[in-house]
Structure 1
């Protein structure tokens, strides 16, 4: 029986033709995405769902999607898909990460020019017959400093265009290597330096816990007077209320926004200000980009439904159906070891070394390395997936070294992930036991034995009496239940670690109390 795909958003006719040519049945209902109830009612009849941004794939819809194997998003952002729910259901979620990068970068440059020369206001005034030649005094971009926050796929295209416009380009991105910065012709700087120096600031970073309100009231106050701010990335990167206040006080000369905290944006604090230019999330809206991502998603979904080949999946690496059962527990282990290291690393990562020992060395280690790197970078780059992780790491100049060797220790299979930064080198090792569950068995050379849990607390401390009692007491006083408690030390009275699985999230104030205990060197809440 031929697989059936539902297209619930507007997609190019050429993409529909690709499905048909490949032998996939297509049901094209471009307005269905707006009707959640109707979508939930019929989703059970399909093997694939192709969407753009209008369709919201909720747990309620996934609950009814008993045949669904794949969701394909024509575009990069998958924030309209409930990823944990899709993963739990075993549904592959694919995106098209590179199809609209140039279009989005060009929109940011267009917005910068519109802002610099007040084009929208001048157009409205002129068409109203006013001819206010002296009112619209713009600024040149030549020779000005362009500050780019996030110099990944799109940010680096903006950087190249900025250099071409004879601007001085500076970039803040913890993952940008000095070598890559040199190739792009940009100066790598810290955020405070960028805020103080930039005449124009453009944002090109995903929305994560770390980047939410990266331009807060406090950071906007650090900017140069007369700065102009462009956001074509994600709503929520800028505190819109604080920006409005900075525009009203004339500290910020202008802002151009394509994305908003709440979309569709029918009202917004920025609306109505004379020095604000707004567009309705047009970043990826060009004929070429729409066509590219539509054709790409149709090819990827057809490949998966007809042959089992997976590409550009955000919740699974590109592997064949035959390889999946053996690889799956080790993929989970690699991703979690990477995530463990990533959550503990706040500085620039230079090198990632991954050693595969024993039986795991005979598996498809490329998929495992992708999983480890995705886990490592995800705390900082929310949109990253196991397929794009190696190229994102390469783009940012992170060196990835893979080594395979015969088993040398106590385990049939062992994966060790080592992260190297300017300041330190940190290793974590894990294995998969017969029960199929991944475990951590070594942290920074200290033996430990712990299963991963959704919420954990990691503590490094001096090995002195009394620590465990005080630590457990703090958790108990806060009403936090301990599920498992793993301990390790290098030698009596030396360095020790505790890795504790807890029921529920750990509040920041509790973490601060743990950090304040006399023997504690560092305490961190982890989520897996």
Structure 2
């Protein structure tokens, strides 16, 4: 029986025809995604679901999707898909991460021009029969300093376009190396310096715990007077109420926003201000981009449903079905090792080496390397997948290498990830035991045996008495239950570490209490997608 796909949002007829041409039965109902009850009623009939942003794939929808094998999102953002629920259900979630990059970058440049020259207000005034030439005095972009927050795929395109406009470009990105910045033609700076020097600022980062409210009220107070702010990335990056106040006071000269903290945005503190340009999330809204991502998602879904090939998946690696049977636990381990490195590192990563020892060295190392890099980069960009992660890492100047060797030591196989920054080198190793569960076996050269849990706590200290007691007391007093406790040290009286598997997330307040105890060199909560 031929696979059956539902297209519940607006995709091009050409994309729909791709399914038909490849022998897949397809129902094209572009308005169905907005009817939650009807979608819930019919979803059980389908092997695949092709969507844009209108369809909300909730855990309730997934619970009813008894035959669903793949969800394809034509575009990059998957906020409208419950990925953990899809993973639990065994449904692959794919996106098209690079199909609308140029379009989004061009919209940011267009918005920059619009706010610099007050084009929307001047257009409305002229349409109204007025001729207020002296009212709309703008500024040139040439020679101005543009601060780019996020120098990944879209940000790098914006940088290239801005340099073509003869702007001076500075950039902030935790993963941007000095070498990659030089290649792009910009200067790498810290966030406070970017805020203080930029005459225009544009955002090109995803919304994560680290980037949420990255331009806070406090940050707005640090901005160079007369700056203009452009956000075509994600709502929630900027404190919109605080920015509105700064615009009214004249400390910020203008703003151009395509995205908002609450969407659809029918009201917002930025609305109806004379020096603000707003558009309804049009970043990817060009004919070319919409066609590109539609065609890509149709091809990807068809490949998977007909041959089992996986590409641009957010919740599964790009491997064959045969490889997945053997590699599954090792792929999970590789992701955990990368995630550990990513969560432990705040400065730009220059290089990563992955060592494969024993039988794991004979596996699909491209997929394993992809899992390591994806785990590492998801700490700052949850939209990264195992296909796009190595590409993004390369764009940011991170040297990814791998080494293989025959079995050494007591383990049949293990993976070791070593990360290098300008300031330090850090390593973590792990293996998979016979029960199929990943374990951390070494951190900073110190041998341990730690089960991986969703919530963990890592600490370093000088080896001395009382560490276990302090950890147990502070966590216990704050209601954090310890599931597993692992200690290790280099040698008596030297560096020591602790890695705890706990039942719930350790809050910043509890971390602060541990740090204030005076016995730890560092304390960091970790989270792993188990």
For residues 162-185 of structure 1, the C-alpha deviation after alignment (integer angstroms, 9 at most, x for no partner) is 000011111111212222222221
State the Cα distance separating 1:316 from its structure 2 match.
1.3
Structure 1 residue aligned with 2:424: 424
Moved more, 183-192 or 7-16: 183-192
Structure 1 counterpart SS, 2:506 = coil
After TM superposition, the runs of 4+ consecutive aligned structure 1 residues lying more than 4 A away are: none
What are the equivalent positions in structure 2 for 1:309-324 lying under 5 Å apart?
309-324=309-324
Structure 2 counterpart SS, 1:520 = coil
1:489 aligns with 2:512: no
Structure 2 residue aligned with 1:362: 362
Query: CA–CA distance in 1 between the matches of 2:460 and 2:486?
Result: 12
Structure 1 residue aligned with 2:192: 192
Query: CA–CA distance in 2 between the matches of 1:371 and 1:69?
Result: 21
Query: CA–CA distance in 2 between the matches of 1:120 and 1:466?
Result: 66
State the Cα distance separating 1:393 from its structure 2 match.
0.3
Query: CA–CA distance in 2 between the matches of 1:145 and 1:341?
Result: 33
State the Cα distance separating 1:481 from its structure 2 match.
1.0
Q: Which residues of structure 1 form unaligned runs of 5+?
A: none
What are the equivalent positions in structure 2 for 1:76-91 lying under 5 Å apart?
76-91=76-91
Structure 2 counterpart SS, 1:237 = coil
Query: CA–CA distance in 1 between the matches of 2:335 and 2:21?
Result: 37
State the Cα distance separating 1:273 from its structure 2 match.
0.3
State the Cα distance separating 1:518 from its structure 2 match.
3.0
Moved more, 32-41 or 152-161: 32-41
Structure 1 counterpart SS, 2:122 = helix
Structure 2 counterpart SS, 1:322 = helix
Moved more, 136-145 or 460-469: 460-469
Structure 2 counterpart SS, 1:323 = helix
Structure 2 residue aligned with 1:244: 244
Structure 2 residue aligned with 1:286: 286
What are the equivalent positions in structure 2 for 1:387-406 lying under 5 Å apart?
387-406=387-406
1:135 aligns with 2:135: yes
State the Cα distance separating 1:479 from its structure 2 match.
1.4
TM-score of the superposed pair, with normalisation by structure 2? 0.99
Structure 2 counterpart SS, 1:71 = strand
What are the equivalent positions in structure 2 for 1:204-219 lying under 5 Å apart?
204-219=204-219
Structure 2 residue aligned with 1:470: 470
Structure 2 residue aligned with 1:527: 527
State the Cα distance separating 1:313 from its structure 2 match.
0.6
Moved more, 55-64 or 293-302: 55-64
Query: CA–CA distance in 2 between the matches of 1:419 and 1:98?
Result: 27
State the Cα distance separating 1:27 from its structure 2 match.
0.7
Structure 1 residue aligned with 2:99: 99
What are the equivalent positions in structure 2 for 1:209-288 lying under 5 Å apart?
209-288=209-288
State the Cα distance separating 1:437 from its structure 2 match.
0.3
1:57 aligns with 2:57: yes
Structure 1 residue aligned with 2:332: 332
State the Cα distance separating 1:321 from its structure 2 match.
1.2
State the Cα distance separating 1:422 from its structure 2 match.
1.0
Query: CA–CA distance in 1 between the matches of 2:388 and 2:2?
Result: 30
State the Cα distance separating 1:516 from its structure 2 match.
2.0
Query: CA–CA distance in 2 between the matches of 1:91 and 1:101?
Result: 26
Query: CA–CA distance in 2 between the matches of 1:256 and 1:100?
Result: 20
Moved more, 459-468 or 406-415: 459-468
For residues 38-67 of structure 1, the C-alpha deviation after alignment (integer angstroms, 9 at most, x for no partner) is 112211110100000111111111111111
Q: Which residues of structure 2 form unaligned runs of 5+?
A: none
Structure 2 residue aligned with 1:74: 74
Structure 1 counterpart SS, 2:250 = coil
Structure 1 residue aligned with 2:434: 434
State the Cα distance separating 1:495 from its structure 2 match.
1.3
Query: CA–CA distance in 2 between the matches of 1:376 and 1:87?
Result: 20
1:109 aligns with 2:121: no
For residues 70-98 of structure 1, the C-alpha deviation after alignment (integer angstroms, 9 at most, x for no partner) is 00000011111111111111111111011
Structure 2 counterpart SS, 1:427 = strand
State the Cα distance separating 1:487 from its structure 2 match.
0.9
Query: CA–CA distance in 1 between the matches of 2:16 and 2:194?
Result: 45
State the Cα distance separating 1:519 from its structure 2 match.
2.3
For residues 101-120 of structure 1, the C-alpha deviation after alignment (integer angstroms, 9 at most, x for no partner) is 00000100110111011010
Moved more, 412-421 or 30-39: 30-39
Moved more, 460-469 or 254-263: 460-469
For residues 240-291 of structure 1, the C-alpha deviation after alignment (integer angstroms, 9 at most, x for no partner) is 0011011011000000000000111011110010111000000000000000
For residues 463-483 of structure 1, the C-alpha deviation after alignment (integer angstroms, 9 at most, x for no partner) is 111221121011111111111
For residues 325-376 of structure 1, the C-alpha deviation after alignment (integer angstroms, 9 at most, x for no partner) is 1111000000001101111111110110100000100000110010001111
Query: CA–CA distance in 2 between the matches of 1:189 and 1:349?
Result: 15
Query: CA–CA distance in 2 between the matches of 1:468 and 1:175?
Result: 35
Query: CA–CA distance in 2 between the matches of 1:507 and 1:284?
Result: 37
1:13 aligns with 2:13: yes
- How many aligned residue pairs are there? 528
Structure 2 counterpart SS, 1:352 = strand
For residues 361-403 of structure 1, the C-alpha deviation after alignment (integer angstroms, 9 at most, x for no partner) is 0000110010001111111112111110100000000001100
Structure 1 counterpart SS, 2:321 = coil
What are the equivalent positions in structure 2 for 1:504-519 lying under 5 Å apart?
504-519=504-519
